[in-house]
Chain A
Amino acid sequence: MSKLKKLTGRTLFLPIFCMLLVMCANIIYDAACGNFALNFFTISIQNGVLYGRLIDILNRGSEIAILAVGMTLVVSASAGTDISVGSVMSLAASFCCMLLAGFGVSSTNELQMPLIVGLLAGVLMGCLCGTFNGFLVAYLDIQPMVATLILYSAARAIGLLLCNNLIVYIRNDSYAVLGKFIGPVPTPILVAAACVIIALIVLKKTALGLYIQSVGINKRASRIAGLNSRKIILMCYIVCGLCAGIAGLVNSSRITSADSNNIGLSYELDAILAVALGGNSLGGGKFNLIGSIIGAYTIQAITTTLLAVGVSTDVAPVYKAIIVIIIVAVQAPAVKDYFSRQSAKRAAAKARG
C-alpha cells in the first residue's frame, strides 16, 4: 500500500502512467485487429528515412512539445494559460510566408528575400505577440486568459489580412527544410529537441527556474524578496510567444504554405492538456518541464491512436476535452479533500477494528 502511494506520489507518475496506458491500448488494438501485436513499436527505414508509428508520433508531436515548453512557464508563473498560442502560430507562419512570397502573391517558386530573414521575422512576430500578452498580464494585472483571448481571435484575423485572404504556397525546397528530413531523421524532432534542451539547460543551470516558481507560488512575497515579479511574468509570456512562433514555422514548413485558417487550430487545447498531463498544477507554482514534454507526446499518441482507430479529426477534441476535465478534476482541492477524508475514515476504522 505504502509502496503504491510512493509511486503515485512521484511527480512523473501521471505522464508516464498515461503514456503506458496509451501504448497498452495500441498493443491491444493491434492484436485485436489481427496485426502483429508490437506494430506500434516497429521502426524501419523506408526510402532512406525512418518509418514507424513511434517516429510518426515523435514527428507530429514536435509542435505540441515546443508549445508545451512555453506554456509550462506561463502556467507556472502566472497561474493562467495562454490560449492564443494556436492563433500566434498561424500569424507567425503567415507573416513569414508573406515576406518570402511578397504581399498578395498566392504561389511562388522564387523567394523574395533570404530564407533566414523570413524565418527570423516569423519568430520575432511570435515574440511580439508574447510581449503584448505579457504586458497586459504583468503590468496591467489582467487575468491571463482574458488578456490572451484578444490575440486568440485577432491574431488569426491579422494573419488572414497579411495573406490577403489567400493560402500562400511557397514551392521552394529550401522552405521545406524545417518540415522534412535531415538524413533519415525528421527535422521537426530535431527542432523540438533543440528547444527542449536549451530550455532545460537554462532552467537548470541558472536560477531562472527557481525564480519563475517562486513568482508563481507567491507574487508579492517574491517581490519583497527582491525579484522583479512583473518582469519575470513578462519574460515567460515572451518565451511562450517565441515557442508559438517556432511551432508555427515548423507547421507551415510541413505543408510549405501558410493556411491561416487551419495552422495551429485547437493547438491551445493540446498544449494546455500537455501541461496538465505532465502533472503540473494549472494553479501555478511548481512545474516539471520533462513531465510536460512527455505529456505532449502522450497527447500526440492519443491523437494518432484515435485517428488509427478511425475517429475523424473533427471529433477527436471530444475525447481530449473529457481527458483534460478528468485530470483537472482529480487535481481539484475539493476532490483531494474528499479522498483524503475517505482514507482517514478507513484508517480510523482499521485502528478501531
Chain B
Amino acid sequence: MKKKSRNSNTVLLFITIALFVVMYAVGCIVYKDKGFTHLQTFLNILINNSGLLCVACGMTCVMLTGGIDISVGSLIALDCMLLAVGMEQVGIHPVLMCLIVLAIGILFGAVQGFFVGYLGIQPFIVTMAGMFFARGMTAVISTAQLSINKATFFVNMANIKLEVPFGIGAYTNRKGKLQVPYIRLHVVIALLVLLVIFLVLRYTKFGRNLYAVGGNEVSAAMMGLNVKKTKMQAYILASFLCSIGGICYCMNAMAASVTQATGFEMDAIASSVIGGTLLTGGVGNVIGSFFGVLITGTISTLVKTNGKLLSSWSSIAVAALLCFFIVLQSVFALMKKRAK
C-alpha cells in the first residue's frame, strides 16, 4: 500500500518536471529569434522569482500540515514598504532593517499560528484577515510609490553580479560585446533557503512532525506529538520564509508600493500545488515546489516575450494550471478511495 501511494506522488512530480521541460522547449522553438535559448533567459527566471521561491518553500511547509497561508502577498508588500521607508526616509542601516523585517515576519506568523493551532480557527479565515491586515498596514506606513536608491549598502548588495564560471553559455550580443550569464545575490539566498528547507523536511524531527500532522492529525496526537505547537511552528516558519522572500523581492524590484505583489499568494499556492503538494496535507516536497516556481516563471516569461499578449494572460494561465492540478489531485484521491 505504501509503495502504491508513493507511486502516484512520483507520478505527479514527473508530470510537473515533464511539463516544465515541454513548456521551456516550446518556448525555445517558438521564440528562438527573441533570445529564449540563451542560458541567461533561464537564469532570469530565477532572478525574477527568487522571492517566490522562498515563499513557495514556506507555503509548502504550511500545506504539509493541511493548512494554507494566503497572507504572503500582502506580507511581502509590507516588508518592501518597511525596507523602503526604513532605509530611505529614516536612514536605518540595511542590515538592521532586514533583521527588523524578519522579526516582524516571525511575530506575524506567531499570531496567525496561534489562531490556527491553539484556537482551531480555519487557516483560510485567519490568513485572509492577515492578508487584509498586512495590506492595510502597508497603507498606514505610506501610500506613496517609493524607490530604493539612497541606501548604498543595500543597492550594492542587490547589484552584485555572480557570473557563471568558465564562461558557460556566454555569447556575443548584437553590439559584438561578450555577455557572460550571471545571477544575483538574492538567487543564492533563495537557493540556500530551498536547500535548508529540503534538509529540514527530510532529516529533522520537526520536518517529520509536519508530515505526521498533515497525514493524520488524530494519530499524530496519539503518537504523542504536540499537534498545536507543530502547526504554530509551521506558520511561524512560513511567515519567516515569506519575510526572507520579501527581502529578495525587494532586492529585485528596488521599489515599494501599496499594490505591490497583489496576487502573489496565488502564484505561491500554484507553485506548491503544481509541485505535487497535496492540499489535504501530508504529501509534498520542496523540490517539486522549485519546479512549480520554474513553471509559473516560465509562463510569465513566455507572455512577456510574446509582447503582444496582455499581462493578465499569465495570471489566467497560472490559475488554469492550478485548476488542472487540483482536479488531478482530487481524481487521484478518488481513485485511491476506489482501490481500497
Tell whether A pairs with B. Answer: yes
- Partner-B contacts on A (CB < 8 A): 80-81, 83, 136, 140-143, 145-147, 149-154, 156-158, 160-161, 164-165, 266, 268-269, 272, 282-283, 312, 314-322, 324-325, 328-329, 332-335
Is B319 part of the binding interface, using a Cβ–Cβ cutoff of 8 Å? yes
Instruction: Name the residue of chain A whose CB is nearest to the CB of B316.
Output: A157
Query: Shortest Cβ distance from A265 into chain B, in angstroms?
Result: 10
- Partner-contacting stretch, out of B4-12, B32-40, B94-102, B113-121: B113-121
Contacts of A320 in B (CB 8 A): 132
Contacts of B124 in A (CB 8 A): 80-81, 83, 145
Instruction: Name the residue of chain B whose CB is nearest to the CB of A331.
Output: B121
Is B52 part of the binding interface, using a Cβ–Cβ cutoff of 8 Å? no
CB within 8 A of B266: which of A145, A153, A272, A314? Answer: A153
A80-B124, A81-B125, A153-B266 known; A321 vs B136 contact (CB < 8 Å): yes
C-alpha spacing A62/B280, complex, angstroms: 36
Is B254 part of the binding interface, using a Cβ–Cβ cutoff of 8 Å? no
Query: Shortest Cβ distance from A140 into chain B, in angstroms?
Result: 4
Instruction: Name the residue of chain B whose CB is nearest to the CB of A314.
Output: B139
C-alpha spacing A141/B279, complex, angstroms: 11
Tell me if B279 and A269 are in contact (CB < 8 A): no
Tell me if A266 and B323 are in contact (CB < 8 A): no
Tell me if A142 and B132 are in contact (CB < 8 A): no
C-alpha spacing A277/B136, complex, angstroms: 21
Q: Which 9 pairs from chain A and chain B are nearest by CB?
A: A318-B136, A314-B139, A154-B319, A157-B312, A317-B132, A321-B133, A321-B129, A153-B266, A145-B124
Total count of chain B residues near the partner, CB < 8 A: 45
C-alpha spacing A312/B310, complex, angstroms: 31
Residues B304-331 near A (CB distance < 8 A): 310, 312-313, 315-316, 318-320, 322-323, 326-327, 330-331
Contacts of A328 in B (CB 8 A): 121, 125-126, 129
C-alpha spacing A79/B333, complex, angstroms: 21
Contacts of A147 in B (CB 8 A): 326
Instruction: Name the residue of chain A whose CB is nearest to the CB of B66.
Output: A143
Query: Shortest Cβ distance from B105 into chain A, in angstroms?
Result: 17
Instruction: Name the residue of chain B whose CB is nearest to the CB of A260.
Output: B312
Q: List 16 A-B pairs, Cβ < 8 Å.
A: A80-B122, A81-B124, A83-B128, A142-B279, A142-B326, A143-B280, A145-B68, A150-B326, A157-B316, A314-B143, A317-B135, A321-B132, A321-B133, A322-B133, A328-B125, A329-B119
Tell me if B129 and A140 are in contact (CB < 8 A): no
A136-B326, A321-B132 known; A161 vs B313 contact (CB < 8 Å): yes
Tell me if B132 and A150 are in contact (CB < 8 A): no
Instruction: Name the residue of chain A whose CB is nearest to the CB of B273.
Output: A146
C-alpha spacing A140/B326, complex, angstroms: 9
C-alpha spacing A154/B316, complex, angstroms: 5
Tell me if A272 and B125 are in contact (CB < 8 A): yes
A153-B315, A325-B115 known; A143 vs B320 contact (CB < 8 Å): no
A315-B139, A315-B140, A325-B115 known; A146 vs B326 contact (CB < 8 Å): yes
Question: Which of B119, B129, B139, B326 gathers most chain A CB within 10 Å?
Answer: B129
Instruction: Name the residue of chain A whose CB is nearest to the CB of B123.
Output: A145
Contacts of B80 in A (CB 8 A): none
Query: Shortest Cβ distance from A263 into chain B, in angstroms?
Result: 15
